[in-house]
Structure formats: structure tokens, C-alpha cells
Amino acid sequence: MPELTVRVKEKCVLVGLVTQEQTLAQLNEYLDELEFLADTAGAETLEKFYQKLPHPDARTYVGKGKLEEIRKYVEEKEVDLVVIDDEISPSQLRNMEAVLKVKILDRSMLILDIFATRAKTVQAKTQVELAQTQYLLPRLKGMWEHLDRIKGGIGMRGAGEKEIETDRRVAQQKIALLKEKLEKISKQNETQRKNRGELIRVALVGYTNVGKSTLMNLLSKSDVFAENKLFATLDTTVRKVVLDRTPFLLSDTVGFIRKLPHHLVESFKSTLDEVRESDILLHVVDISHPAFEDQINVVNETLKEIGAIDKPGMIVFNKMDLYDKKYFDKYLSSDIKKDILTELKNTWMAKTNYNCVFISAVNKENIDELRNKLIDMVKEEYLVKYPYKTEFY
Ligand code: GDP
Ligand code: MG
């Protein structure tokens, strides 16, 4: 029988823990983000479950009572999918699945699924395939015995679907091959980048969904895919931009996200080549997000890991329109607003050595200030890097 092409939205529930390391407020915020991820993957969240435990239950992540509560709900509401906020072990996955009798994914598997459906270039596809082979395989083994009726859908797209039956040895060989292939692509890209000529390169970095692609469009007047979904694209887009007669290359890269296991981040490192080799970083931040400081730290940690933290750059606090609505009383005088922003600016400049601007990319507020600062930085970099190119400064 041919497969159904129109997929009904899968119904899911989310499960997380309040532990010694994670307060209820933090968990709520993580679960909101997880709901957003589930939505991006095409699932509708019906309910969020949480439990207070000193640490995750070694056998079933949550305790027996909570698991039974979830089971009842899943059965009653005909839930298709249970998503766990943390990375769970293959055995936890199997034990939970034996009780709940529905498909279970953890945060990483959900993210991989989104990557798999959205990867466009060979490089992005290969990276996803590698990560899926490494991460999914040990988890999928023997997992689907109870689940004859579940043959696809979220979590199974990309490599997952065809790999369930593959044995370990074949998988190892495949991993080695994929790594080789990535190495080759990475070298090809490097050569391509070298052939771009002597242009200063500016990279947009930042947590996912902060407005990088929107800003890319604004600065380059191009049409990069921007939507209110996490990880709208995994691939890097590079555009040549000319501002004030000064040309440079602007790249828009994949967003960063919390709680991604280290070895998964590793698989996506070559996506960050563009960032590593850029001359200037524009770190875009969604200032209206309650956890924006946490997001800045996640991005900075990754920049540190790839050795890109010391590049000249700027923090672009975006979505000021939402911040205004949320935090500034409409009767607040503009002087006081200014003071608050100056304070914020000084704090982050002191912490990161970066200059700051406050903008709204959708309302096009303060874009001139951003442009002017950027032009100055680009010119300065030309002076340092290509001092003989006098036409640019
Ligand atoms: P990216 O993941 O960092 O590339 O983020 P996108 O550029 O795709 O933007 C994510 C969402 O935020 C989209 O729905 C944008 O329209 C929205 N967005 C971007 N900039 C702003 C802004 O300044 N204000 C508001 N309110 N929304 C914005
Ligand atoms: Mg984007």
C-alpha cells in the first residue's frame, strides 16, 4: 500500500523534571521551548507533565506513579508521541516505551528530526545522517517491538527510518564513511571560500529564532527563509553586501540551542566553519526573551569551543519592539528608558568587550546606527587585513 502523503498532526505530551540542578521556573521555560520544537516538527502539544526528583530515575526517568499518570493520559487522549526534555539512555527509553506503548523521543531526537527534514545541502544532509546514525541507532534497537503500528513520522525521518534493522558493525562502517565524506566536503568548501577573494567576512551568530535571517534580509535585501520556527534552516547562506560603497560578505548560520549533547554539537561543527573563518561577528540576541542572558551564554560557550570568541564584533539586541511592550510602561519617560538601555549596554560591554546596539529588525528601528557601526568595523578590518585596498577606507 502506498504511504499516506498527507500527515495528520501528531499529538504529543512533554515530560520534564525539577531537580537539584533545575528549578521549576527553568523547567517551564525549557518545556515552552520544547513545545516550540515539537510544533516545528509538526506535533501538537496536549499536556506537559513534570515531577520533582533529586535526579532522574535510572530505570524510567520519572517515578512509577508519574509514569502511570502519563500512561493513563496517553491512553485516554490517544497521544502519538511522548517527548522527554532531557537526554535519556537507551534502556530508559525502552523501559518507558514498554509501559507507555507509544513512540518516545528525547529532546535530541526531536532536534535531529527537525534537522533531517530541513537539511538542503549535501553537507547538512550528511551531518544529520552521521548524527542520527550515532545517536539513534543504539536507541532504536529492539525498541519498536511493541509498536507495530508506528512505522514513521516524527523522529523517524531522515536516516532513522531505514536504519532500524542495521546491525552495529554495518553502522560503524557507515559512520566512518560519513565522516570521510564530511571531511571531503569541508575541504571543498574551504577551497570555495578561499576563491571568494579578498573580502571581509561578517557572520551573524546567535541563538535560534532571535532574528538572524530577518536581519540578513534587511542588510542584504535578499530573501532568506525567515519564520517563527526553531531551526528554519540548517544551511549557511552567504551574500555579498555593499554598504557605503564598502563590500563585504555576510553569512547567516544555524542557530544555537540549549541541552544539545556534546557529541551532537560535534557533528555540526563544520556548519560553523563559516563563523570560525569570519572577520567580524554580529551576535544577535532576542532581548524580549525571558532567558536571553542564558542564550547569550550558550552562544558564547560554542564560540569559545570553536575558537571564535575573540573576534571583533557587536551584540545586536533585537526585538526591541516586543521588549518595549513587555517591560516598558507606556508612561515611562524616554529618558528613563534610555538610562535602562545604557545600563544594559554597559553591563554587556564590560562582560564581553563587545559594542552593543538595540534594534527592531521587523520595525526597522535603529537600523541606521547598526549599519553605521558595521561599516566602521568593516572598514577597520580592511585596513588591518588588506591595507593596500585603499579604495575601501
Ligand atoms: P533566526 O532563527 O535567528 O534566523 O530568526 P528569524 O529571522 O527566522 O526570525 C524568527 C522570528 O522572529 C520571525 O517570526 C521573525 O519575524 C521574528 N522577528 C525577527 N526580528 C524581529 C523583531 O525585531 N521584532 C519582532 N517582534 N519579531 C522579530
Ligand atoms: Mg535563520
pLDDT tens sequence across 78-113: 999 999 999 898 889 989 999 999 989 999 888 888
- Give distance in angstroms: CA of 289 to centre of ligand 2: 16
- Rounded to the nearest whole angstrom, what is the distance from the C-alpha of residue 348 to the centroid of ligand 2? 24
DSSP code, position 4:
P
The pLDDT tens digits for 28-82 are 989 998 998 899 889 999 999 999 999 999 999 999 999 999 999 999 999 999 9
Please tell us whether the domain made up of 10-112 is placed in CATH 3.40.50.720.
no
Residue-wise burial string across 100-126, b where 16 or more C-beta atoms lie within 10 A, e elsewhere: bebbbbbbbbbbbbbbbbbbeeebbbb
Residue range(s) of every CATH 3.40.50.300 domain in the chain: 196-392
Q: Say yes or no: CB of residue 318 within 6 Å of ligand 1.
A: yes
Q: Band of the pLDDT at 393, cuts 50, 70, 90?
A: low
Name the residue of 298, 362, 364, 367 to mutate for ligand 1: max ligand atoms within 8 A of Cβ: 362
- Whether pLDDT at 123 is above 70: yes
pLDDT score of 7 = 57
**Alpha carbon distance 237, 224 (integer Å):** 8
Among 209, 289, 317, which is best to mutate for testing ligand 1, by the most ligand atoms less than 8 A from CB?
209
**pLDDT score, position 229:** 59
Q: Whose CA is nearest to atom 6 of ligand 1?
A: 211
pLDDT of res. 108: 87
Question: Percentage of residues in the chain with pLDDT exceeding 70?
Answer: 82
How far apart CA 385 and CA 249 sit, in angstroms, is 15
Q: Whose CA is nearest to atom 12 of ligand 1?
A: 211
CA angle 329, 334, 338 (to 5 degrees): 105
> Is pLDDT at 3 greater than 50 in this prediction?
no
pLDDT of residue 48: 98
CATH 3.40.50.300 fits 196-392, yes or no: yes
* pLDDT at residue 5, rounded to an integer: 46
Q: What average pLDDT does the structure give for the chain?
A: 83
- Residue 226 pLDDT more than 70? no
Locus of grid cell 560553523: 272
pLDDT in tens, 241-253: 888 888 898 988 7
Provide the 8-state DSSP code for 149. Answer: T
306 pLDDT more than 50: yes
The pTM for the full model equals 0.79
Q: Say if ligand 1 is within 6 A of residue 118 CB.
A: no
Read off the pLDDT band of 208 (50, 70, 90). confident
Q: What percent of the chain has pLDDT over 90?
A: 38
218 ligand 1 Cβ < 6 A: no
For the chain, count helices (H), then strands (E).
Answer: 14, 10
How confident is the model over 9-36, as a mean pLDDT? 92
| Helix (H/G/I), strand (E/B), else coil: 305 | helix
**Quick one: which of 99, 113, 87, 88 has its CA closest to 10?**
113
Where in the chain does DSSP place strands (E)? Answer: 10-18, 43-52, 81-84, 103-106, 201-206, 237-243, 246-252, 280-286, 313-318, 355-358
Rounded distance from Cα 216 to ligand 2 centre (Å): 9
User: Within 13 Å of residue 243, how many CA atoms lie on the same side as its CB?
Assistant: 24
Task: List every span in the chain annotated with CATH 3.40.50.11060.
Answer: 10-112
State whether the beta carbon of 125 lies less than 6 angstroms from ligand 1.
no
Does the Cβ of 370 fall within 6 Å of ligand 1? Answer: no
- pLDDT of 142 reads 56
